[in-house]
Amino acid sequence: MTTSAPIHMAGHLAPVPDEIDAVDLPVDGALPPELTGRYLRNGPNPLPGEPSPHWFLGHGMVHGIRLREGRAEWYRNRWVRTKTLQGASMIGPDGTVDRSVGVANTHVIAHAGRIMALVESSFPHVLTPELATVGPCDFDGRLTTAMTAHPKTDPVTGELHFFGYGFAPPFLTYHRLSAAGELVTSAEIAVPGPTMMHDFAITDRHAVFLDLPMTFSLQRLSQGMPYGWDEAYGARIGLMPLARPGEVTWFDVDPAYVFHVGNASTDAAGRVVLDAARYAPADAVAMWEGLGPSAAGPAAAAATSGLARMYRWVLDPASGTVTETPLSDRPVEFPTVDDERVGRDARYRYAVGTSAVVKFDVDGGAVTEHALGPDTVAGEAVFVPSTAPDRAEDDGWLLTITTRRDGSASQLLVLDATDVAGAPVAAVTLRRGVPAGFHGSWIPDQELS
Ligand SMILES: [Fe+2]
């Protein structure tokens, strides 16, 4: 018998039906005692009997693993208690938009001691360290737009830079939280229309915006996902000096789509070097159709296993020119970088390939991988630095939740980032299959104290 379940309701993406708690988890290998904190990961998880019309629209569920001094104390999963989970709609009968309503399904981060579940259409939702939901947060009423699920923490200042986009004006707004968690800056940014801006970048002096041809249309709304490929929109990358919020210089680039940035930095000549997982136009169309409301089968499976490739743009504010260069032909998604090098020169990117965790040396060109075998899927690989003084950039660990296509128990894998291809340092068995989801964070205990 064949199944007609949409891609996001089957296999490694199939939602779980309940919330559980498991304690004293079995560990193969040895967990580094420095890993004392929580690995939290978010993803869409529709309620039983209520399939979501699109993978991106399921209710947020956060999976958490508590590690302490070499032990895996617990695993638990919790739906984010949003108004959406209780049936509320973001758009009221009179067309007004309530940003306190949303699925909170894309990322989970900590800033200024506050854990926040994020989705790009709504306000963040604050969680407790035990994954109970406190509620939506608008930073004392100062946030009036949605908040991207991909904010960036400047590793030097501790400020959190982010943006919100919307399908109605203002289409794009830049925001900044102080290191203490206060919303201190908001500035509208002019773009031609309602683009779906999933991620952005910062450097030590710029914010970098991706104004790309995935746009909103009312005609698509009835199909469940109002955004779609629109090559006529064009493609631009914008540089905004952090010292002059709202002043953006745009650079026309070849049409493409980007969900996820690897990193950006300023080079010795003052140019901005940006790299990201890029979908060429045909791959963007195939990916979007493969993820669509009625997608199923091999095309959809290909879409979720990655059609993007690491790519580099070099933008020169002095000359107004941009160069574009592929970095690798290896299909990947979910690129990550050492958080302590966000916006700064960094040699390594980590990413997810088909059944593999992949490490890129963007200076030397080497690509290495940790292969999981065809029946296992890797989640986003989050780099956790070692505590060694003067550590090398890759001295630390990669954490990833792996998911078996047959739904059997997932693992939290801990890889040595200096030796990605080597045997895992540790593998924690989670006592349930965790659906392959979106993004997460390692939150050390000291970040919450
Ligand atoms: Fe994302």
Residues 84-106: pLDDT tens digits? 999 999 999 998 999 999 999 99
**What distance in angstroms lies between residue 278's CA and the mean position of ligand 1's atoms?**
13
Contact 401, 430 (CB under 8 A): yes
pLDDT 10s digits, 111-160: 999 999 999 999 999 999 999 999 999 999 999 999 999 999 999 999 99
Contact 186, 218 (CB under 8 A): no
Helix (H, G, I), strand (E, B) or coil at 13: helix
**What distance in angstroms lies between residue 119's CA and the mean position of ligand 1's atoms?**
9
Q: Has residue 292 got a pLDDT over 80?
A: no
Average pLDDT, the chain: 94
Q: Has residue 251 got a pLDDT over 80?
A: yes
Helix (H) or strand (E) holding 332: strand 321-336
pLDDT 10s digits, 295-348: 555 555 555 556 899 999 999 999 999 999 999 999 999 999 999 999 999 999
The residues facing 378 across adjacent strands are 402
The strand pair at 107-111 and 114-118 is best described as antiparallel
Helix (H, G, I), strand (E, B) or coil at 68: strand
**What distance in angstroms lies between residue 93's CA and the mean position of ligand 1's atoms?**
30
**What distance in angstroms lies between residue 385's CA and the mean position of ligand 1's atoms?**
22
Query: Where is mean pLDDT largest: 1-5, 8-12, 420-424?
Result: 420-424
**What distance in angstroms lies between residue 150's CA and the mean position of ligand 1's atoms?**
7
**What distance in angstroms lies between residue 439's CA and the mean position of ligand 1's atoms?**
6
**What distance in angstroms lies between residue 49's CA and the mean position of ligand 1's atoms?**
26
**What distance in angstroms lies between residue 41's CA and the mean position of ligand 1's atoms?**
12
**What distance in angstroms lies between residue 44's CA and the mean position of ligand 1's atoms?**
12
**What distance in angstroms lies between residue 367's CA and the mean position of ligand 1's atoms?**
22
pLDDT attached to residue 4? 64
CA separation (Å) from 15 to 48, 59, 279, 412, 435? 8, 10, 27, 18, 6
**What distance in angstroms lies between residue 146's CA and the mean position of ligand 1's atoms?**
15
**What distance in angstroms lies between residue 261's CA and the mean position of ligand 1's atoms?**
9
**What distance in angstroms lies between residue 318's CA and the mean position of ligand 1's atoms?**
31
Q: How far apart are CA 268 and CA 416, in angstroms?
A: 31
In 88-222, which residue ranges form alpha helices assigned H by DSSP? 218-221
pLDDT 10s digits, 186-217: 999 999 999 999 999 999 999 999 999 999 99
Mean pLDDT of 15-28: 98
**What distance in angstroms lies between residue 191's CA and the mean position of ligand 1's atoms?**
21
Contact 441, 382 (CB under 8 A): yes
Mean pLDDT of 23-28: 98
